[in-house]
Amino acid sequence: MKLYDYPRSSAAYRVRIALNLKGQTFEAVPVNLLEGAQRGEDYRALNPTGLVPSLDTGEGLLGQSLAIIEYLDERFPAPPLLPAGAFARARARALALQVACDIHPLNNLRVLQYLVGEFGIDEQQKLAWYHHWLQQGLAALERQLTETDSPFCCGDTPGLADICLVPQLYNARRFGLDLAPYPRLVAIEAACLRLEAFAAAHPDHHQEA
C-alpha cells in the first residue's frame, strides 16, 4: 500500500501507527504541507479534500485517517484495534473522536493559517487558541481514563484511542503545553511509545518531501 504522508501531520501519524500495528509495510509518498502540495490539483485529483493522509489500498484510494484505520481493522483483523462488544467498541471510538473531532481540526495548519491571515492574530493569540482546545479535550480524556487503570486507553492492548492520543500529545509537546495535569494520558503515551509500532511511526523517523 502507498501512504500519502507528511511526517508531522498527526492524522498521517495515526495511520502509520495503525499500519505498523497490523504489520503492513507501506511506501510513504511525501506531500509537503508547508509548501501547500496538498492543495494542488495533482493531489486533489486523488483526494478532493486536499487533506493528508490518503492511503492507496490497492482497491482504491481512501482519505480520512479514522476511516482508513477502520478499513485496516476490517481487512486485517489481527491484532484487533477495537475491543469486543458494541458498547466497548463505541466507547473506544468516542475517545478517538474526542481527539479527531474536538481537538485536532481546530489546531490544524490550515486553520492556524486562516486565523493569522484573515483575522491577523499574533503569536501569543495563536498559542492561546492552540492550548485552549488541547486543554479542553485533554482534560475530558484524562477524567474519563482515570476511571480505569489499564495500560492502554481501552485495556491491555493498544487500539484506536491510543492511536489518536499519541500523535495529539506529540503536538501538545511541540506547542509547549504543560502536560502535568494529565498524568494518566502521559502514562498511556509512555506505554505506547515502548512499542515498536508506535516508536517507528514517530515523525522524527520520517522525512519531509
By CB under 8 A, name the binding residues for its own copies: 48-51, 57, 59-60, 62-64, 66-68, 70-71, 74-75, 86-87, 89-91, 93-94, 97-98, 100-102, 104-106, 111, 114-115, 118-119, 121, 125, 128-129, 132, 136-137, 139-140, 143-144
What's the grid cell of residue 140?
Answer: 475530558
Q: To the nearest whole angstrom, how small is the minimum distance from the Cβ of residue 17 to its own copies?
A: 17
Q: To the nearest whole angstrom, how small is the minimum distance from the Cβ of residue 180 to its own copies?
A: 19
Q: To the nearest whole angstrom, how small is the minimum distance from the Cβ of residue 127 to its own copies?
A: 12
The two most distant CA atoms of the chain are separated, in Å, by 48
Q: To the nearest whole angstrom, how small is the minimum distance from the Cβ of residue 194 to its own copies?
A: 27
With contact defined as beta carbons under 8 Å apart, do 198 and 20 qualify? yes
- Cα three-residue angle 31-35-38, rounded to 5 degrees: 45
81 phi and psi angles, rounded to 5 deg: -100, -5
Q: To the nearest whole angstrom, how small is the minimum distance from the Cβ of residue 101 to its own copies?
A: 5
**For residues 114 and 205, which CB has a smaller minimum distance to its own copies in the complex?**
114
**For residues 60 and 176, which CB has a smaller minimum distance to its own copies in the complex?**
60
Go through 73-108 and write b for each residue having 16 or more CB atoms within 10 A of its CB, e for each that does not: beebeeeebbbeeeeebebbbebbebbbeebbebbb
Distance between CA atoms of residues 146 and 28, nearest Å: 36
Q: To the nearest whole angstrom, how small is the minimum distance from the Cβ of residue 72 to its own copies?
A: 9
**For residues 70 and 162, which CB has a smaller minimum distance to its own copies in the complex?**
70
Amino acid found at 19: L
**For residues 97 and 179, which CB has a smaller minimum distance to its own copies in the complex?**
97
**For residues 50 and 199, which CB has a smaller minimum distance to its own copies in the complex?**
50
**For residues 113 and 207, which CB has a smaller minimum distance to its own copies in the complex?**
113
Distance between CA atoms of residues 27 and 162, nearest Å: 23
